[in-house]
Amino acid sequence: MIVDQRSNVVVVSYKPNTHFDPAVIRKAAEAADAAIVLLQIVARGRVIDEGPKHFFLAGEDRFLLIEPAAGATPLPPASETLLFVVGSIDDSAEPIRLKIVQSGPAE
């Protein structure tokens, strides 16, 4: 974990194939009397389509993709190709929603 007190940013790194659980992060912030304004993730995975819905699969984690705002970079297409994504999450419902703000092929 990295804490930057000047910018009030906390970075939590997970080992590959570790389950992402935002509730654990929220509980830790609450115990420290801190507020979480935004949760962002950087992950490797792939996009799949299930009917009209698009999901990002990263290990055992599954995120419902939220369409980006008009004029933003479009969602990457479903593919077996591994992608590297940066996005913000909304964990107020299941499945967790992910708005990708940047993506590219994983190296």
CATH number at residue 41: 2.40.50
Residue 28 φ/ψ, nearest 5 degrees = -65, -40
What is the Cα–Cα distance from 91 to 1, expressed in whole angstroms?
A: 21
| Tokens standing for residue 28 | 């830790």
Per-residue model confidence as pLDDT tens digits over 5-58: 566 777 788 887 789 999 988 888 888 888 888 899 999 999 999 999 999 999
Domain that holds residue 56: 2-105
Closest alpha carbon to 10 in 40, 31, 30, 33: 40
Q: What is the pTM of this model?
A: 0.84
Task: Return the pLDDT at 72.
Answer: 67
If residue 42 lies in a helix (H) or strand (E), which one and from where to where? strand 39-50
- DSSP conformational letter for 100: E
Q: Does 96 have pLDDT greater than 90?
A: yes
Count of domains forming the chain:
1
Q: Is there a contact between 79 and 92 (Cβ–Cβ < 8 Å)?
A: no
